[in-house]
Amino acid sequence: MVALLLFLLHACAVCEFRFCSPKQVLPPLSLADCPPGELMEAIKCDFGSFEKMKEKIAAVSVGVQGSGWGWLGFNKESGRLNIAACPNQDPLEGTTGLTPLLGIDVCEHAYYLQYKNVRPDYVKAIWNVVNWENVAERFQAAKK
Ligand SMILES: [Fe+2]
């Protein structure tokens, strides 16, 4: 639990996910294990299934060379969800034009204490702490 809190505080305080507040990042006591409503429908439409989206973002995130981020973003021009990776602290929107919805920090400092150098295990465990309600709120805001 301490590692989880450290991860969440790190994600908010240190890195590029600038528009988050502790209230948004710290998860509620009971997390939904899948995206709600329209976000789930968009994921199914753009990736085939929730599982396929998770596989794709995990592959992109694990594949980052060195430090960086894996992202689920929204493409306002196409109206579709996209997955992308950014090296180091490069901002998603500034480098790809995508609006960030969910970011996975794969800088080693984000996971080394708990997962050592096994980045795939860390990325796999991310799904246990994602606040899908918050991601869905970001999705709704991005569509406006
Ligand atoms: Fe980081």
DSSP assignment of 4-31, as one string?
A: HHHHHHHHHHTSS-TT--HHHHSPPSS-
In a domain, 7, yes or no: no
Q: Which domain holds residue 56?
A: 33-143
pLDDT tens, position by position, 67-113: 999 999 999 999 999 999 999 999 999 999 999 999 999 999 999 99
**What is the Cα–Cα distance from 20 to 27, expressed in whole angstroms?**
12
**What is the Cα–Cα distance from 57 to 123, expressed in whole angstroms?**
9
* Dist. CA 62 → ligand 1 center (Å): 14
* Dist. CA 112 → ligand 1 center (Å): 11
In a domain, 11, yes or no: no
pLDDT tens, position by position, 46-70: 999 999 999 999 999 999 999 999 9
Residues 75, 122, 64, 88, CA torsion sign: positive
Q: Domain with 93 in it: what CATH number? A: 3.55.40.20
In a domain, 49, yes or no: yes
In a domain, 10, yes or no: no
Tokens in use for 127? 């799904």
Q: Please determine, for residue 16, whether its predicted confidence score (pLDDT) is greater than 90.
A: no
* Dist. CA 105 → ligand 1 center (Å): 5
Mean pLDDT score across all residues of the chain: 86
Tokens in use for 5? 């809190």
* Dist. CA 89 → ligand 1 center (Å): 8
Q: Please determine, for residue 21, whether its predicted confidence score (pLDDT) is greater than 80.
A: no
**Which of the pair, 12 or 34, is modelled with greater confidence?**
34
Q: Which residues face 87 on adjacent strands? A: 68
Overall number of domains in the chain: 1
Task: Tell me which H or E stretch contains 73.
Answer: strand 68-75
Nearest residue to 93 (alpha-carbon basis) of 19, 12, 144, 11: 19
* Dist. CA 10 → ligand 1 center (Å): 7
